[in-house]
Amino acid sequence: MAKYYIGADIGGTNVSVGLTDDRYKILRKNTIKTEKEKGYGAIVRNIAAAVGELIDGAGLSPKKIEWLGAGCPGLCNKDKGVLEWSNNLDWHNESLLSDLAELTGLPAHIDNDANAAAYGEFLAGAAKGTKSAVIITLGTGVGSGIIIDKKIYYGTNFAGGEIGHTVIEVDGYECTCGRRGCFEAYSSATGLVRMTREALEKDSGSKMHELVDTNGKISARTAWAAAKLEDKAGKEVVHKYIKYLAAGITNVINTFQPDIVCIGGGVCGEGDNLLVPLKKIVKAEIFSKNSAKNAEIAICKLGNDAGIIGAAMLGKLG
């Protein structure tokens, strides 16, 4: 008999809820606006309503659902079932687990959203079949989750795995966390846009100016597009970005020696243009370069579905 689970991926802009089976397949999915300006109570009620609509739409009884799992940005204390702090949502010490359980009538589990996405990629994506993995998402920031011996690594205070806030450039650019030189400040899409803007200011003849005029703005794609046109400034930005990304990934491999490091985010759409030079630099820099076996570097497979699948399966972690 099939078993059913619900995963909720709570973000600053949208909340995606999905119904999955025990083979990690998403059967139905709904997305609602977070509307964070309405505050915690309204958001949680809206999530519960979306869950109810999902179950009704599938023609299932709530009794057929094993549990609801939710991934949320911020510091999530799983022992207490409390979302202690979320800077993206401005939540402080909210009883997320008990509130979701009460409003939906389902057993509930909660975790940090990056951990949930990492768990999804580990169960059903690029890290499937491994024992240890590090999943890094290159978006507006740099999110990450660490799997060791098939379990999410949390640290003593559930704040472990914040790889984006390790420093790769001492006294470098200021990060949103207040520290300087963080991996996130250089390898996020935000960091790539900043490097592109700086290059544009220095080189008035770069083809990137034409691309910006055509598209109406500087984006994380601007330098990559220019590099394909053999633009010198664009190629330099891309090379610099890959060097910083390689530095962060090298640190991850030297620290954890995982079976695999998976990277996700829009920049991964560049495929081998990103992966080939990235792997070359990392291979030359890792401490274990002379080992017969080293961590694989791969692109995530699940995209935005990773957060739903991972959240839906949180109950398997106990």
> Are 84 and 147 in a shared domain?
no
How much is the pLDDT for 140?
86
How much is the pLDDT for 111?
96
User: Please, are residues 188 and 139 in contact by the beta-carbon 8 Å criterion?
Assistant: yes
- The percent of residues above 70 in pLDDT, for the chain, comes to 100
> Are 152 and 249 in a shared domain?
yes
The token pair that represents 20 in the structure block: 């999955």
Rounded to 5°, angle at Cα 44 from 99 and 101: 30
> Are 198 and 237 in a shared domain?
yes
Report in angstroms the alpha-carbon separations of 122 from 21, 41, 256, 274, 309: 16, 32, 16, 22, 10
> Are 105 and 203 in a shared domain?
no
Q: Where do we find the tokens 């010198």?
A: 232
| Average pLDDT over every residue of 25-49 | 96
User: Please, are residues 163 and 170 in contact by the beta-carbon 8 Å criterion?
Assistant: no
The token pair that represents 35 in the structure block: 């509307």
| DSSP at 112 | E
pTM of the model: 0.90
Give the contacts of 56 (CB within 8 A, at least 6 positions apart).
none
How much is the pLDDT for 252?
98
> Are 102 and 140 in a shared domain?
no
Q: Where do we find the tokens 């409003």?
A: 103
Rounded to 5°, angle at Cα 118 from 41 and 290: 155
How much is the pLDDT for 318?
64
> Are 54 and 95 in a shared domain?
yes
Query: Hey, is 85 helix, strand or coil?
Result: strand
Name the strand (E) or helix (H) holding 49. helix 40-57
How much is the pLDDT for 269?
94
> Are 152 and 267 in a shared domain?
yes
> Are 186 and 41 in a shared domain?
no
How much is the pLDDT for 286?
97
| DSSP at 259 | S
How much is the pLDDT for 277?
98
Give the contacts of 313 (CB within 8 A, at least 6 positions apart).
5, 7, 20, 24, 69, 119, 120, 123
The token pair that represents 161 in the structure block: 């795995």
> Are 191 and 218 in a shared domain?
yes
> Are 99 and 243 in a shared domain?
no
Q: In CATH, what number is assigned to the domain containing residue 107?
A: 3.30.420.40
How much is the pLDDT for 1?
75
Work out the number of other CB atoms within 10 angstroms of the CB of residue 32.
Answer: 15
Average pLDDT of the chain is 95
74-97 per-residue burial string, b: 16 or more CB within 10 A, e: under 16: bbbbbeebbbbbbebbebeebebb
Report in angstroms the alpha-carbon separations of 256 from 15, 259, 260, 261: 32, 9, 10, 10
Domain limits at 259?
129-299
User: pLDDT, tens digit, for every residue of 83-121?
Assistant: 999 988 999 999 999 999 999 999 999 999 999 999 999
> Are 60 and 142 in a shared domain?
no
Rounded to 5°, angle at Cα 75 from 23 and 115: 25
How many structural domains are present in the chain? 2
Give the contacts of 139 (CB within 8 A, at least 6 positions apart).
188, 189, 265, 266
How much is the pLDDT for 88?
81
User: pLDDT, tens digit, for every residue of 280-294?
Assistant: 999 999 999 989 899
User: pLDDT, tens digit, for every residue of 115-171?
Assistant: 999 999 999 999 999 999 999 999 888 999 999 999 999 999 898 999 999 999 999
> Are 200 and 227 in a shared domain?
yes
How much is the pLDDT for 191?
96
Choose among 231, 240, 239: nearest CA to 207. Answer: 231
How much is the pLDDT for 206?
97
How much is the pLDDT for 176?
85
User: pLDDT, tens digit, for every residue of 229-273?
Assistant: 999 999 999 999 999 999 999 999 999 999 999 999 999 999 999
| DSSP at 155 | -
